[in-house]
């Protein structure tokens, strides 16, 4: 099978599409013929050597496609079913991948839209769970217009929370369409948020990693009310929880998202698609960091 891999750290030019042995599912797993695979900021961080030291590495956490092989004990799907989910081996950007956790693709979605979902909804759900966001919560999302930020906004609104989201002015109408109250980021953030919520907010989620943890701590009334998914150094410096998957992933998000999508309460736009051969260009676009929605590889 064809798969994305790199054998040295560096820029997008180190990425290769190579031939690798076909994978096979273990107990409780399924293999899919991949139709689309999501691209995440962690991909280029891995490629630059900022996360894992081993070489070579395959790439991709999430994919959508058609089941073509079942592991032992799998009875909830059949060959030919459309599913989306996670690759435990981080090898989803390939023609075939084994999914360790999966769910049926909601009927209204095509493969690229489904491939955009897993990482964003799991990350957002995990952070909301850690913050205890519920119907009585006022949540501030820093960086609310990207894929994880917009997922967090919609999932929090579905829980009944009030959501205030930071974004550039060009994205304020988009945030309003998701049910959030937008504010501009940058100097004066505390004052702008207090104009909407004079007593501050109950909890805050930092998705952007833009150095505003002190402001979020002030607005939320303490470090225990703030979670970041993007500022590891800042979390250590300020005593804030840095949310990461190895502490327990919110895999229940996969099964629950279909109802929200089909009822019109959740949508995650696909910003751009790329064929497998253009993986380097996809990384360049991702690394520029100005994408609203998700980047997706289309395969097969």
pLDDT tens per residue across span 242-257:
998 766 788 899 999 9
pLDDT exceeds 70 at position 61:
yes
Q: What digits encode the pLDDT tens for the residues 235-290?
A: 999 999 999 876 678 889 999 999 999 999 999 999 999 999 999 999 999 988 76
pLDDT digits (tens, 9 = 90+) for 182-207: 999 999 999 999 999 999 999 999 99
- pLDDT at residue 247 in the model: 62
Task: Specify the pLDDT at position 88.
Answer: 85
Chain mean position to CA 208: 12
> Which CATH superfamily includes the segment(s) 2-117+268-298?
Medium-chain alcohol dehydrogenases, catalytic domain (3.90.180.10)
Tokens 């013929």 label which residue? 33
- Count of beta carbons in the 10 Å neighbourhood of residue 39: 32
State how far the Cα of 192 lies from the Cα of 19, in Å rounded to an integer.
53
Supply the mean pLDDT for the chain. Answer: 95
CB burial string 243-252: b at 16+ within 10 A, e below: bebeeeebbe
What are the sequence ranges of the domains in the chain? 2-117+268-298, 121-246
Spatial separation of the C-alpha atoms in residues 55 and 7, rounded to whole Å: 6
Say yes or no: do domains 2-117+268-298 and 121-246 share a fold.
no
Q: Tell me which residue of 297, 291, 293 sits closest to 278, measured CA to CA.
A: 297
User: What's the pLDDT score for residue 50?
Assistant: 84
User: What is the architecture, at CATH level 2, of domain 121-246?
Assistant: 3-Layer(aba) Sandwich (3.40)
Do strands 57-58 and 2-6 pair parallel, antiparallel, or not at all (unpaired)?
antiparallel
* Chain length of the chain: 300
Smallest CA-to-CA distance from 39 within 273, 290, 277, 288 is with 273
Residues 6 or more apart whose Cβ sits within 8 Å of residue 260? 154, 155, 158, 266
Summarize the confidence of residues 52-61 as an average pLDDT: 92
Q: What are the tens digits of pLDDT across the range 78-91?
A: 999 999 999 989 99
Among 46-50, 123-127, 133-137, 161-165, the least confident range: 46-50
Provide the strand spans (E) within the chain.
Answer: 2-6, 15-19, 30-39, 57-58, 62-70, 82-86, 96-99, 101-104, 138-142, 162-166, 181-183, 203-206, 226-228, 241-242, 270-275, 294-298
DSSP SS3 for 255: helix
3-state secondary structure of 189: helix
Instruction: Tell me the pLDDT tens digit for each residue of 132-184.
Output: 999 999 999 999 998 899 999 999 999 999 999 999 999 999 999 999 999 99
Q: What is the mean pLDDT of residues 65-81?
A: 97
């Amino acid at each position: 099978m064809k798969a994305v891999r790199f054998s040295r750290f560096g820029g997008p030019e180190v990425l290769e599409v190579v031939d690798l042995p076909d994978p096979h599912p273990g107990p409780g797993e399924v293999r899919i013929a991949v139709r689309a695979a999501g691209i995440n900021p962690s991909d280029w961080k891995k490629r630059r050597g900022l996360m894992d030291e081993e070489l070579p590495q395959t790439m991709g956490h999430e994919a959508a496609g058609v089941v073509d092989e079942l592991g032992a004990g799998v009875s909830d799907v059949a060959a030919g079913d459309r599913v989306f989910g996670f690759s435990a081996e981080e090898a989803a950007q390939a023609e075939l991948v084994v999914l360790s956790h999966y769910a049926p693709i909601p009927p209204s979605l095509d493969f690229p839209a489904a491939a955009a979902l897993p990482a964003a909804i799991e990350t957002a759900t995990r952070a909301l769970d850690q913050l205890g966001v519920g119907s009585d919560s006022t949540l501030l999302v820093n960086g609310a217009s990207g894929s994880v930020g917009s997922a967090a906004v919609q999932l929090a609104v579905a829980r009944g929370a009030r959501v205030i989201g930071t974004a550039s002015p060009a994205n304020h109408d988009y945030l309003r369409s998701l049910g959030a109250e937008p504010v501009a980021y940058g100097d004066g953030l505390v004052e702008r948020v207090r104009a909407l919520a004079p007593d501050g907010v109950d909890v805050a989620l930092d998705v952007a990693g833009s150095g505003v943890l002190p402001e979020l701590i002030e607005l939320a009334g303490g470090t225990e009310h703030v979670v970041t998914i993007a500022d590891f150094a800042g979390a250590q410096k300020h005593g804030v929880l840095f949310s990461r998957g190895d502490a327990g992933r919110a895999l229940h998000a996969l099964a629950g998202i279909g109802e929200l999508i089909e009822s019109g309460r959740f949508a995650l736009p696909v910003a751009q698609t790329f064929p497998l051969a253009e993986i380097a260009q996809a990384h360049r676009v991702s690394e520029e960091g100005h994408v609203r929605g998700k980047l997706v590889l289309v395969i097969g």
